Chain A
Amino acid sequence: MIYSDLKTLSRALHEKRISSVELARLFLDRVTRLNPELNAFITVDEEKTIAAAKAADQRLAAGSAGMLTGIPLAEKDLFCAEGWLTTCGSKMLQNFVSPYDAAVVTKLEREAGMVSLGKVNMDEFAMGSSNETSWFGAVKNPWDKTCVPGGSSGGSAAAVAAYLAPVATGTDSGGSIRQPAAFCGLSGIKPTYGIVSRYGMVAFASSLDQGGVIAHSAEDCALVLSAMAGFDERDSTSLERPAEDYSRLLGQPLDGLKIGLPKEFFGEGANAEVVSAVLLVVEEYKRLGAKIVDVALPNSHLSVPVYYVIAPAEASSNLSRFDGLRYGYRAPDCNDLSEAYTKSRAEGFGAEVKRRIMIGTYVLSHGYYDAYYLKAQRVRRLIADDFRKAFRECDVILGPTSPTTAFNIGERTSDLVALYLSDIYTIAVNLAGLPGLSIPSGFDGQGLPIGLQLIGNYFDEARLLNVAHLYQQATDWHTRRPQGF
């Protein structure tokens, strides 16, 4: 049962072949047994989970259940959930029990009736690409426990890859859903900016952050995304659009679909094994009836520099509220207010978060704002315009998710520039606000998963998911399981 897709689980629940409580216990048992090897979960609360599962069972019994009612999920630990510890992977919030629910939690748990198995690990405040910056320790990749699972949604990816949860929420500001999905052999979607409410999702970089899903298949992603997306008046950047069934196009033939290959995504820096795996996928799409065209994203090489101005600028501002005065960590024995600020923040935040706060503070400070922040926002427009032009030539853009497969824990902690460059293919999508997804497309020589990225035009999630789905109908990469899980 634990290896089933969401449709199968839903059918079993609705046909009363298993109860939600039983299903939750199956996964909770695996968490208890296997999580110590992975460190994917920060918080597990069996009582709360079982209570939610009982409520789901009542809805199933009463006939008021939906497609997802009773299905367990893991929540990335930056979605506020009432009564749950919500840490953002930080010492700063190690004791923060949220008094309210994020919009995503309301939609998935309270409305759709999904059952939270707990809160999963992440890079501190979502700043990282390897899940090594968490105050709660690094997360290990189920495919190779000496490797990182990717980040920042590393706990989400590890939990789903190891079947500790059938599906997990994630957030993606520069690749934080797609890259861990790629590293862990999973499917992950970051929708168009503004589709999923950011209310209650602790902000890292407000103009880039977007909630999404990590699951085993594009189909599972579509089902959960349909339940989590939707207009929310509490988020001024939430888009007023009618609700969508993102699985509605699944199974439609690809005939005539134009897939764009940006040469910039296949150049230097990309690992040869990754490139050849991705090119094999292109062949598969040709067989499925797609047409391949070349497109250009001439400014995409600037996306990392732009990102490392904009994201830290917004982060330095967003994280100003963490001062240890109203909630969160306060350093002991502060003599005065100034010390309370500087010590609480110095002790509460980890090294990467502090680095980014300092970068952001600098680029916004007097005399540097124009040269860095404004400049980056202008180049951001150029990058977005590249995509606009590219989508005149094609329907979806295809390339690798990451230049490499998962790297070793500790390998890149001293070379920050190399670490930052590992997000080179995913970041541009956030800068433009487009939907992007990653699906598994093979393995490298060490048996590590290779991820394929598909980028769609604004609001084209349903088509994007179908393009991924058809590939998964023709291949079985997404059904492979890491040894020992």
Chain B
Amino acid sequence: MTWEIVIGLETHTQLATKSKIFSGASTAFGAAANTQASLIDLALPGVLPVLNKGAVECAIRFGLAVEATVAEKSAFARKHYFYPDLPKGYQISQLESPIVQGGHLDIMVGQGEKSYEKRIRLTRAHLEEDAGKSLHEDFHGKSGIDLNRAGTALLEIVSEPDMRSAEEAVAYAKALHTLVRWIGICDGNMQEGSFRCDANVSVRRPGAPLGTRREIKNLNSFRYLKEAIEFETRWQIETLEDGGQFEQATVLFDPATGETRAMRSKEDAHDYRYFPDPDLLPLLVSADWIEREQTALPELPAAKRQRFISDYGLSAYDAAILTASLEMADYFEAAVRASIPAAAKLCANWVMVDLAARLKREDREISEAAVNATQLGGLVMRIMDGTISNAIGKKVFDALWAGEGSDADEIIEKHGLRQITDSGAIEGLVDEALSANPVSVSEYKAGKEKAFNALVGQVMKAAKGKANPQQVTELLRQKLASG
């Protein structure tokens, strides 16, 4: 009998607002401790919150991007618990009427031929404030509290339990990560905690009702997300198969051991005593406002993916890779514009293979690429029109990357890389190769196809790679057949 794994994700995305959600303190990362903790963030007696319009804009944009309902009326509630990084003793959040309701995200799971698309439904997304940080290094046996992060705007995005494997959960998290950066509401910096996931995991026999779930808190990398879910599901299945049981719990993932571990259970931990915040009035989002945000929204990844498939004839897989970020998609399209539409597939290959490899090797972002999209488009154009071969193209690319010229044409001229297409010249090279390599010729005639490749290699070597490969092949076959 098999087990079905059921996963839902709650993702905390720090919104890319300049100031905090309820105060005018900066949200910039890395400031000296508590210098970005205003009187409001510190919860001094008498201070009051005022809502940041920028945070609401981010929430609206997200709601539109996932085709959710953006609530005309939503409200803020207080969620109570005591912890030193929560100065008010409550977190301002949204409970009953969140600003984003429903929606979905289409994800691509797996690679190549085995990849498949899946729609993950969203339950809601709501605005709330982040907590500060407790530093548990030892300060004379005490903990240090830095409240710079306290009050940073968060959008908590809650999915339905629609994922069935760690791989799907990671694909969802990645798609969400792409989307929030795409629409400019989150910088996506996971090391700095801008994008953090909680995973609700349970297992069941197919067709059975949902099993007991455990929530893995605060996963701030895709790798941890995957490892934590894999460990947790294994643990749950083994426990159940051994005839054991477990309770609903909150667990932490320890990256060092790769294991999840239940937090100390507190009997009153979940009595948050929510009630409407009397300091904040209900939020009204007008149809006009939604309309304005809709107009300002860029073409979204899913739409762009579809367009890449239909307009450029790309495969679904290639289209998915090229829409992994807005920067990559823009780069690709700019490269196509600098060449011709028919070169789109070739451009795609260059972006996904050669450019990507180079970026990875030098640990650069696409925005830092030394070859810009126009230069790459120009290079691809020269391959398309037969001026150079694909192999020579790589040399031109390296030269461009090294800054040896302003475009492909300049490099081709400077280094004399233009392809030899004159059939008389190629015939001369072929004849030379045939007479210089009698062993290969006889092997070929004895039926060894490998020998043919060796002969092609000899011709190309003599041509310094510039001979048109197709012409070389054709001439060789002709000569060998006739001779």
A425 to B313, CA, bound (A): 78
Query: Given contacts A313-B275, A337-B84, is CB(A325)–CB(B145) below 8 Å?
Result: yes
A314 at the B interface (CB under 8 A): yes
**Interface mask (B20-62 → A, CB under 8 Å = 1, otherwise 0):** 0000000000000000000100111111111100000000000
Nearest CB in chain A to that of B82: its residue: A341
Categorize the interface residue count of chain B.
20 to 34
B222 at the A interface (CB under 8 A): no
Query: Given contacts A236-B51, A320-B88, is CB(A364)–CB(B273) below 8 Å?
Result: yes
Which residues does chain B contribute within 8 Å of A271, judged by CB atoms? Answer: none
- Total inter-chain residue pairs, C-beta < 8 Å: 100
Quick check: which of A196-204, A296-304, A403-411, A440-448 contacts chain B, the rest being far away?
A196-204
CB distance from B6 to the nearest CB of A (A): 26
- A78, A79, A198, A361: which contacts B48 (Cβ < 8 A)? A198
**Interface mask (A190-208 → B, CB under 8 Å = 1, otherwise 0):** 0000000011111101110
Which residues does chain B contribute within 8 Å of A320, judged by CB atoms? Answer: 80, 82, 88-90
B193 at the A interface (CB under 8 A): no
Which residues does chain A contribute within 8 Å of B275, judged by CB atoms? Answer: 313, 317, 364, 369, 373
Which residues does chain A contribute within 8 Å of B88, judged by CB atoms? Answer: 320-321
Which residues does chain A contribute within 8 Å of B80, judged by CB atoms? Answer: 317, 320, 364
A203 to B279, CA, bound (A): 10
Query: Given contacts A317-B78, A325-B84, is CB(A207)–CB(B278) below 8 Å?
Result: yes
Which residues does chain B contribute within 8 Å of A389, judged by CB atoms? Answer: none
A99 to B40, CA, bound (A): 12
A373 to B88, CA, bound (A): 21
Query: Given contacts A236-B279, A236-B280, is CB(A317)–CB(B273) below 8 Å?
Result: yes
A201 in contact with B278 (CB, 8 Å): no
Nearest CB in chain B to that of A125: its residue: B45
Name the prevailing secondary structure of the A interface residues.
Answer: loop
A97 to B48, CA, bound (A): 19
A368 to B201, CA, bound (A): 30
B273 in contact with A361 (CB, 8 Å): yes
A78 to B44, CA, bound (A): 12
Which residues does chain B contribute within 8 Å of A80, judged by CB atoms? Answer: 44-46
A241 at the B interface (CB under 8 A): no
B271 at the A interface (CB under 8 A): yes
Which residues does chain A contribute within 8 Å of B43, judged by CB atoms? Answer: 321, 326
Which residues does chain A contribute within 8 Å of B47, judged by CB atoms? Answer: 199-200
CB distance from A276 to the nearest CB of B (A): 39
Which residues does chain A contribute within 8 Å of B90, judged by CB atoms? Answer: 317, 320
Nearest CB in chain A to that of B24: its residue: A234
A321 in contact with B50 (CB, 8 Å): no
Query: Given contacts A323-B89, A337-B84, A341-B82, is CB(A236)–CB(B39) below 8 Å?
Result: no
B102 at the A interface (CB under 8 A): no
Nearest CB in chain A to that of B272: its residue: A366
Which residues does chain A contribute within 8 Å of B84, judged by CB atoms? Answer: 323, 325, 337
Nearest CB in chain B to that of A360: its residue: B273
Which residues does chain B contribute within 8 Å of A202, judged by CB atoms? Answer: 45-46
B45 in contact with A96 (CB, 8 Å): yes
**Interface mask (A14-27 → B, CB under 8 Å = 1, otherwise 0):** 00000000000000
B240 at the A interface (CB under 8 A): no
A233 to B88, CA, bound (A): 21
CB distance from A478 to the nearest CB of B (A): 32
A199 to B22, CA, bound (A): 14
- B42, B50, B278, B279: which contacts A326 (Cβ < 8 A)? B42
- B49, B143, B273: which contacts A236 (Cβ < 8 A)? B49
B45 in contact with A365 (CB, 8 Å): no
A321 in contact with B39 (CB, 8 Å): no
B341 at the A interface (CB under 8 A): no
A89 to B145, CA, bound (A): 28
Which residues does chain A contribute within 8 Å of B44, judged by CB atoms? Answer: 80, 98-100, 326-327
A206 to B277, CA, bound (A): 9
Considering only residues 241-299 of chain B, those with a C-beta below 8 Å from chain A are: 270-271, 273-275, 278-281
B51 in contact with A200 (CB, 8 Å): no
A86 at the B interface (CB under 8 A): yes
B87 at the A interface (CB under 8 A): yes
Considering only residues 86-117 of chain B, those with a C-beta below 8 Å from chain A are: 87-90
A342 to B316, CA, bound (A): 59
Nearest CB in chain A to that of B281: its residue: A236
A186 to B45, CA, bound (A): 29
A444 to B44, CA, bound (A): 44
Which residues does chain B contribute within 8 Å of A79, judged by CB atoms? Answer: 46
A364 to B90, CA, bound (A): 13
Query: Given contacts A100-B39, A237-B281, A313-B275, is CB(A321)–CB(B87) below 8 Å?
Result: yes
A206 to B11, CA, bound (A): 32
Which residues does chain B contribute within 8 Å of A353, judged by CB atoms? Answer: none
Query: Given contacts A234-B50, A317-B90, A341-B82, is CB(A86)–CB(B45) below 8 Å?
Result: yes
**Interface mask (A233-276 → B, CB under 8 Å = 1, otherwise 0):** 11111000000000000000000000000000000000000000
Known: A200-B47, A322-B45. 5 other contacts (CB 8 A): A80-B46, A198-B48, A235-B48, A237-B278, A369-B274
Can you identify 16 A-B contacts, CB atoms within 8 angstroms? A102-B46, A198-B48, A200-B47, A206-B278, A234-B48, A236-B49, A236-B280, A237-B281, A317-B80, A317-B90, A321-B43, A321-B45, A326-B87, A327-B44, A364-B275, A366-B273
- Per CB-CB distance, the 9 closest pairs between chain A and chain B, nearest first, are A320-B89, A206-B278, A364-B273, A207-B278, A321-B43, A200-B46, A202-B45, A202-B46, A80-B46
The chain B residues found within 8 Å of chain A, CB to CB, are 39, 42-51, 78, 80, 82, 84, 87-90, 143, 145, 270-271, 273-275, 278-281
